[in-house]
């Protein structure tokens, strides 16, 4: 009898629960579409010499996830992956990056001078550091990706700048 009573009480709640929404075809879910494609990358290496790498950006999981596959070129050992998604609950883009140096970086979307960006704040050894990556000068076949750091969240210095050229 108790089981029947409990079932009768829980059944309406279960019936009214929202079913998950699959797929992502909202305007927000397309905000990173400019990045999707195969890209040749050019940037200065640690010695200031030109270096080249490759980046493949695809959409997966019913269009809900933007997956990055960064492959270092000759003399560049760094290989990494990122996953980005528009989080419906917070109404913000989020990204996680992992690579073959065992780095794990988590970001939230930001806007920098009208440009799409991802930012994070890190505390290590009692010191706060702000990091961000900014997509600038976005055109159909090219863009600039800039990695910046700040100690105060106001004054930023560029640590790494990559020129993207779409592979044809």
The string of pLDDT tens digits covering residues 34-75 is: 999 999 999 988 788 889 999 999 999 999 999 999 998 877
Q: Are 44 and 51 contacting, i.e. CB atoms less than 8 angstroms apart?
A: yes
Beta-sheet pairing, 37-44 with 157-166: antiparallel
Question: How many residues are there in the chain?
Answer: 168
- Does residue 142 have a pLDDT over 80? yes
Quick check: is 7 in a domain?
no
- Confirm whether 20 is domain-assigned: no
d(CA 110, CA 123): 19
Whether residue 22 lies inside any domain: the answer is: no
Is there a domain that residue 138 lies in?
A: yes
CATH, residue 127: 2.40.128.20
Tokens matching residue 158 = 């560029």
Q: Is residue 64 part of a domain?
A: yes
Specify if 12 maps to a domain.
Answer: no
pLDDT, mean over the chain: 90
> Mean pLDDT: which of 4-18, 43-57, 72-86, 153-167 is highest?
153-167
- Number of structural domains in the chain: 1
Asked if residue 106 belongs to a domain, the reply is: yes
Q: Which domain holds residue 90?
A: 27-166
User: How many percent of the chain have pLDDT more than 90?
Assistant: 76
Domain contains 4: no
Residue 121's pLDDT is what?
97
Rounded CA-CA distance 58/35 in Å is: 9
């Amino acid at each position: 009898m108790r089981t029947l009573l409990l079932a009768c009480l829980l059944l309406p709640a279960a019936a009214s629960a929202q079913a998950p929404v699959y797929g992502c075809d909202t305007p927000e879910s397309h905000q990173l579409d400019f990045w999707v494609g195969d890209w040749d990358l050019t940037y200065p290496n640690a010695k200031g010499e030109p270096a080249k790498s490759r980046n493949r950006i695809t959409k997966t999981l019913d269009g809900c996830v933007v997956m990055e596959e960064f492959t270092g070129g000759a003399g560049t050992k760094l290989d990494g992956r990122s996953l980005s998604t528009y989080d419906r609950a917070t109404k913000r883009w989020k990204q996680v990056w992992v690579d073959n140096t065992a780095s794990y970086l988590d970001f939230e979307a930001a806007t920098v001078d009208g440009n799409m960006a991802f930012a994070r704040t890190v505390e290590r050894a009692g010191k706060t550091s702000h990091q961000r990556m900014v997509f600038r000068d976005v055109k159909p076949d090219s863009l600039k990706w800039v990695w910046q750091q700040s100690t105060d969240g106001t004054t930023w210095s560029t640590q790494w700048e990559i020129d993207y050229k779409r592979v044809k």
